């Protein structure tokens, strides 16, 4: 268990340290480490965590760190009280690097923001972060989240429909994410997905 705590701390410390580009870029990193590398949970469970993180108060990065910390411990077969400790460690670890860095770097960055070296580092980072978020979305398009044509055609087609609804609803009609999530969840219950 101590190993799991140490791994959680180290993983979320790294995510906090290299988490450029906001919550969605962090989701990509959490996905890579927690699902891809350590197999602490399945892609489906991870998607549920993202859904809850999006529709509860607070920054998505904090929400998902808290939730992943809890779920990793409980999935490994430990009692919920250890899960609470896990979520504390993950949240603390994800904030710690930015806390130290912000205190040190804020002065430096304010002074050197137009420095060409700093500028060129960010000119490489910005486009890569866009790719990071794209990868997160692509990785979530799997049979666990959408089902598949051979496994369950009804659920597969409905999932595609709900995907299109959410995409157009937000992009064209500017519906809020919570409203979209609630409507799709209700549709899931009514249509028996």
Partner 1 sequence: MFELFKTFFQIGLFTIGGGYAMIPLIEQKVVDEKHWVDHDELLDLIAVAQSCPGIFAVNISIFIGNKRMGNKGALASAVGTCMPSFLCILVIALVFQQFRENVYVEHFFRGIRPAVVALILLPVFRMAKSANINRYNVWIPLVAAFLIWMLGVSPIFVVLVAGVSGYIYGKYLKEDFFNS
Cα angle: 120, vertex 125, 128; to 5 degrees = 135
Please tell me the distance from the alpha carbon of residue 56 to that of residue 111, in angstroms, as a whole number. Answer: 36
Residue 75: exposure state from Cβ atoms within 10 A (0-12, 13-18, ≥19)? middle
Neighbouring C-beta atoms of residue 10, cutoff 10 Å: 12
53 binds partner 1 per the rule CB under 8 A: yes
Which of 47, 78, 82, 85 is in the footprint of partner 1 by CB under 8 A?
A: 47
CB 94 within 8 A of CB 13: yes
- Site map for partner 1, 70-89, x if CB under 8 A? xx--x-----x--xx--xx-
Looking at beta carbons only, is 3 or 192 nearer to partner 1?
192
6 binds partner 1 per the rule CB under 8 A: no
Give the shortest CB-3-to-partner 1 separation in angstroms.
Answer: 20
Footprint (CB under 8 A) of partner 1, residues 94-123: 94-95, 97-99, 101-103, 105-106, 109-110, 113, 116-117, 119-123
Footprint (CB under 8 A) of partner 1, residues 136-175: 136-141, 145-146, 155, 159-160, 162-167, 170-171
Count of positions on this chain that bind partner 1 (CB under 8 A): 114
Which of 9, 41, 63, 93 is in the footprint of partner 1 by CB under 8 A?
A: 63
Footprint (CB under 8 A) of partner 1, residues 20-39: 20-29, 31-33, 36-37
56 binds partner 1 per the rule CB under 8 A: yes
Query: Who's near 34: CB < 8 A, 6+ residues apart?
Result: 11, 40, 41, 46, 68, 72
Please tell me the distance from the alpha carbon of residue 87 to that of residue 9, in angstroms, as a whole number. Answer: 10
């Amino acid at each position: 268990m101590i190993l799991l705590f140490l791994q959680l701390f180290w993983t979320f410390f790294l995510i906090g340290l290299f988490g450029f580009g906001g919550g969605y870029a962090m989701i990509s990193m959490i996905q890579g480490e927690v699902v891809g590398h350590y197999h602490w949970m399945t892609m489906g469970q991870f998607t549920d965590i993202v859904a809850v993180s999006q529709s509860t108060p607070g920054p998505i990065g904090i929400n998902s760190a808290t939730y992943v910390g809890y779920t990793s411990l409980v999935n490994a077969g430990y009692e919920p009280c250890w899960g609470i400790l896990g979520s504390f460690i993950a949240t603390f670890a994800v904030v710690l690097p930015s806390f130290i860095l912000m205190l040190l770097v804020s002065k430096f960055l304010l002074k050197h923001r137009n420095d060409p070296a700093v500028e060129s580092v960010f000119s490489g980072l910005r486009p890569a972060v866009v790719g990071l978020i794209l990868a997160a979305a692509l990785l979530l398009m799997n049979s666990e989240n959408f089902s598949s044509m051979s496994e369950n055609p009804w659920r597969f087609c409905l999932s595609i429909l709900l995907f299109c609804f959410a995409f157009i609803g937000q992009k064209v009609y500017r519906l809020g994410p919570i409203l979209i999530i609630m409507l799709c969840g209700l549709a899931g219950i009514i249509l028996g997905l």
